Structure formats: structure tokens, C-alpha cells
């Protein structure tokens, strides 16, 4: 039995997130069918993360066990030949049998992409959040650093989260701007449901003066979702990188 580590990219617009659901069209459903066809056996792919409906991925990792002896380059070419145009296999390698895309993951980095302009850009529809208000990068950059470190992020997750432990560690939160393009990169050891989108929404509320910058530490400590900001739109969010500890 072989264990394959696979990286893929996908545009999440047409999908109701990654994980298979009974009454929704998902990335896992589509990819799993294509992988099973190429391997000539029914398989289950194990994803590194759930993603919400409309969220994209630049480098999503999944692992799959197979009896097939197909070469890794043959796997890449074969599966890409079956997949729709909005999903692509980027790499495939054989790994140790104990590797699991989710449980072996040490950290993840998300990117939130914003198009900051009065006018919409037809070339970024569903790929970046169109934000019309003036953006103050230094203010947002300074506020974002309050998320860095180990905190209880209960105030920054959806109220229907299943997680009992809401403590997470954020390694960095970078804010970059290139003209009308704003990029927010956040890396952490794990993320709660809607956590990145709520952190971004809170930063945008701070940018607009709706939430006083001085209250951010107090909001984090409160654990009160109602005190944090809005949930930013899903289509600006990308799973940007997945990190695994090297043995």
C-alpha cells in the first residue's frame, strides 16, 4: 500500500467548500471521483483542512492510500486530465505510511485578497473582496500584530463552532499593499471556523473607525463574538500554504 502526498490548487467559487456533504457540490467529491478513476480503485482522499463555500486554495494538500503502481507524474497528468478547469493537481510524491495531510500538518498560512478601489474589477470577480473605502495600511498593520501570539480566539469564531478548545497560536499577520491590491497573510498552528474572515472583518472595521483600535486586546480577552467585527466575504480568502515538519 502506497501513501501519496498531493498538492492542488482550486478556485472555490462553484463549490460548497472542500469536505463532502450530502446535498452540496464540493471539491472533495469531484477530486475523489477523478482520483479513483485514475487509480482504478475506490479511494478516500484525506484533506488538510475544511474550507468554506467560495474559499479558494493556492496550495491545498491531501493524502491518499492506494495499491496502484502508477508513477507520480502519471498521477498528476492523469488526474489533471479528468478534473474540471477550476481544479489543478500541482505535485505528487510518495511519503511514509504514517503521513496524514491533516494530522501531520504543523501550521497553515491563509491569504486574504482585497481589491481596494471605487470601481469594481471584472477580472477579480469572486477572486478578491471589492473594498471601496480608503485603506490605512499602517493602522491595519499595527492592529494585526495584536493577533500574533497564543490567545483564546473564541471571539473570532462562528458561534456554532464545534471546538471546545479555542486557543490558537498565530505566528505572523502581514499586511501588504501594492496599488489597489491589498494582501493579508496570516499563519498559525490552526484556525477556528471563520476565524480568519472574522479577524479580517475586524481589521476592516478598525480601518473604518467602527471599532476603536485601543479596544482590540480587550475584545480578544472578552471571548465575546458580538464585540468583534464582521465576517469578511469568503471569496477573498485563500489557503495559501500548508506546512509540515521535516523529519
Residue 101 counted as domain residue? no
Q: Could you tell me whether strands 105-116 and 237-244 are parallel, antiparallel, or unpaired per DSSP bridges?
A: antiparallel
Listing DSSP states for 186-223 in one string gives EEES---TTHHHHHHHHHHHHHTTSS-GGGHHHHHHHT
Residue 83 counted as domain residue? yes
The rounded distance, in Å, linking the Cα atoms of 117 and 173 is: 23
What is the share, in percent, of the chain residues with pLDDT greater than 70? Answer: 97
Q: What is the pLDDT of residues 58-74, one digit of tens each?
A: 999 999 999 999 999 99
Mean pLDDT score of the chain = 95
Question: Are 90 and 113 in a shared domain?
Answer: no
The pTM assigned to this predicted structure is 0.94
At CA 133, angle to CA 130 and CA 139, rounded to 5?
110
Contact predicate 89/76, CB 8 Å: yes
Question: Are 156 and 207 in a shared domain?
Answer: yes
Specify the DSSP class assigned to residue 203: H
Question: Are 197 and 155 in a shared domain?
Answer: yes
Segment 28-39 shows an average pLDDT of 97
pLDDT at 162 over 80: no
Question: Are 233 and 118 in a shared domain?
Answer: yes
Domain boundary at 94, 124, 146, which? Answer: 94
Q: What is the pLDDT of residues 72-89, one digit of tens each?
A: 999 999 999 999 999 999
Q: Which of 52, 96, 217, 245 is catalytic?
A: 52
Confirm whether 52 is a catalytic residue: yes
Question: Are 159 and 86 in a shared domain?
Answer: no
Residue 100 counted as domain residue? no
Domain that holds residue 84: 2-94
Structure confidence at residue 22 (pLDDT): 87
pLDDT at 54 over 80: yes
Question: Are 61 and 130 in a shared domain?
Answer: no
Amino acid at each position: 500500500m502506497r501513501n501519496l502526498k498531493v498538492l492542488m490548487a482550486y478556485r472555490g467559487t462553484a463549490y460548497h467548500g472542500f469536505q463532502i456533504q450530502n446535498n452540496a457540490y464540493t471539491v472533495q467529491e469531484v477530486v475523489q471521483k477523478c482520483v479513483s478513476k485514475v487509480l482504478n480503485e475506490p479511494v478516500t482522499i484525506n484533506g488538510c483542512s475544511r474550507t468554506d463555500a467560495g474559499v479558494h486554495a493556492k496550495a491545498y494538500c491531501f493524502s491518499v492510500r492506494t495499491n496502484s503502481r502508477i508513477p507520480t507524474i502519471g498521477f498528476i497528468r492523469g488526474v489533471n486530465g479528468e478534473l474540471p478547469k477550476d481544479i489543478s493537481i500541482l505535485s505528487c510524491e510518495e511519503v511514509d505510511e504514517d503521513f496524514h495531510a491533516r494530522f501531520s500538518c504543523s501550521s497553515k498560512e491563509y491569504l486574504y485578497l482585497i481589491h481596494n478601489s471605487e470601481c469594481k474589477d471584472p477580472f477579480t470577480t469572486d477572486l478578491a473582496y471589492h473594498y471601496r473605502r480608503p485603506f490605512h495600511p499602517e493602522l491595519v498593520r499595527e492592529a494585526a500584530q495584536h493577533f500574533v501570539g497564543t490567545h483564546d480566539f473564541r471571539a473570532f469564531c462562528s458561534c456554532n463552532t464545534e471546538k471546545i478548545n479555542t486557543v490558537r497560536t498565530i505566528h505572523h499577520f502581514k499586511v501588504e499593499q501594492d496599488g489597489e491590491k491589498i494582501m493579508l497573510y496570516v499563519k498559525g498552528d490552526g484556525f477556528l471556523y471563520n476565524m480568519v474572515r472574522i479577524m479580517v472583518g475586524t481589521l476592516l472595521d478598525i480601518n473604518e473607525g467602527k471599532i476603536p483600535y485601543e479596544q482590540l486586546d480587550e475584545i480578544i480577552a472578552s471571548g465575546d463574538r458580538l464585540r468583534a467585527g464582521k465576517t469578511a466575504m469568503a471569496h477573498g480568502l485563500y489557503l495559501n500554504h500548508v506546512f509540515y515538519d521535516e523529519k
